[in-house]
Structure 1
Amino acid sequence: MRLNPITPGTRPELAAQEAQILAARGRISPLYQVLLNSPPVAHGWEQMLSAIRNHNSLPASLRELVILRVAVLNRAPYEFDAHVPHALAAGVLPATIEAMRAPSLSAHPGMTDLQRLVLEYTDAMTRDIHVAEALFARVRAHFDDQALLDLTATVAAYNMVSRLLVALQIGH
């Protein structure tokens, strides 16, 4: 790690924040130990990522596929490994999880057309940042405004997560 993690229980002024993280996650992971170097960032991070993970209108299986794909594209194995259990719990098949690692997803027979489309959108947002109008129109045809925002925010947020993990070498 490039930043020193804050060992839980060592800074009394962080006790309440650590208790909130423990209540939400069951543990204070290495990621959150690093985030606690900036309590306001750790708080905002937890609020935003909890909303995306726990109050998202997308089916959990789609959300987890997006997260896995972003982790692969950004070379963030810590993020990928952390979300495999969530993907399995959401009903994503192990073969589909492994398919997220491939450069091209179109050949995987177990994926639905909607999954392929969502992952195409994820790839465009992550690799190119720009999303072509034709692709956006295809995605828009499947989602209402809330779900479209939730999808876009999930891709964007997990790009943030993976880029922080990689830059600070968390989980290496």
Structure 2
Amino acid sequence: MTTWENRDVTENHLVPYVDSSTAPEDVCTALRTLPFERNIFKLLANAPTFFPTFMKLLTCAWSPNRSLRSNDWQLVVLRTASLLDAPYEWDVNEPVARVFGYTDAHLACLRSGDLSSTDLFTGRQRLISAIVEDLCLQNRVRTDLVEKAKAVLGGEALMDLFYTQGIYAFLGRTMNSCHIDFDPPIPGLEVQLRKYNEAIIEKESKYTD
């Protein structure tokens, strides 16, 4: 089982991982949605009715057409992982966050929940973090935060945020409940991530706020 302190690759999962070489064709195709395989996908593939459709939903989070910016997306994911005590979710997404500009200092603050530094985080990011905290800890967002988010993010990005947090909260709870194992290292992962996200990295390089 994954823990924050021990990152050894183990085989202690409670539910088997689906082998893409023997899975039904639609499940196999879904397992190869991203350019690398992960234990979480092999775990979710145990539900073949849901899995292919779920992977289509998940890839929306990676779309350059979404309204929620990528560094906002990763803030949602990493704060959710921290609040739900989901080290595997953090481990999988930390390299993605780094591709979108997060440094060791950013990541340490996101892990602790202290986003008070105005050098590292904007008011927009603190607002997003507060929304994620409400969703994880209270199961609803305060009305004043929703109204403020509508003004700051816009309605489309706010709804992207709700979708994103819901997806990754589901993933985090599933990972923890099934005692998922860390993945073996993926050679060249950063290069793959940068290539996969090339269009959106270029698009968002123009943002200044």
TM-score (norm 2): 0.75
The C-alpha deviation readout for 1:47-73, integer Å capped at 9, x for no partner, is 111112324211111101110110011
The Cα shift of 1:15 comes to 3.3
Higher share of residues assigned helix: 1
Q: Which letter does structure 2 place at the counterpart of 1:33? A: K
Local SS of the residue matching 1:2: coil
Unaligned runs of 5+ in 1: none
Quote the residue 1:127 is aligned against.
Answer: 137
Residue 68 of structure 2 is aligned to residue 53 of structure 1 = no
Contact 2:30–2:52 (Cα < 8 Å) also in 1? no
Q: Which letter does structure 1 place at the counterpart of 2:43? A: V
Alignment of 1:36-115 (within 5 A): 36-54=45-63, 55-107=65-117, 109-115=119-125
Quote the residue 1:160 is aligned against.
Answer: 170
Residue 17 of structure 2 is aligned to residue 8 of structure 1 = no
Residue 115 of structure 2 is aligned to residue 136 of structure 1 = no
Tell me the distance in 2 between the aligned counterparts of 1:142 and 1:152: 15
Of the structure 1 ranges 160-169 and 107-116, higher mean CA displacement relative to structure 2 is found in 107-116
Contact 2:80–2:132 (Cα < 8 Å) also in 1? yes
Contact 1:96–1:110 (Cα < 8 Å) also in 2? yes
Unaligned runs of 5+ in 2: 1-12, 183-209
Fraction of identical pairs, as percent: 24
Task: Please list every run of at least 4 consecutive aligned residues from structure 1 whose deviation after the TM superposition is greater than 6 angstroms.
Answer: none
Local SS of the residue matching 2:49: helix
Tell me the distance in 1 between the aligned counterparts of 2:21 and 2:141: 44
TM-score (norm 1): 0.90
For this pair of structures, how many residues does the alignment match? Answer: 169
The Cα shift of 1:108 comes to 6.6
Q: Which letter does structure 1 place at the counterpart of 2:48? A: P
Of the structure 1 ranges 35-44 and 68-77, higher mean CA displacement relative to structure 2 is found in 35-44
Tell me the distance in 2 between the aligned counterparts of 1:83 and 1:120: 20
Local SS of the residue matching 1:25: coil
Query: Cα distance 1:108–1:72, how it changes in 2: closer, same or farther (>3 A)?
Result: farther
Contact 2:79–2:113 (Cα < 8 Å) also in 1? no
Query: Cα distance 1:104–1:92, how it changes in 2: closer, same or farther (>3 A)?
Result: closer
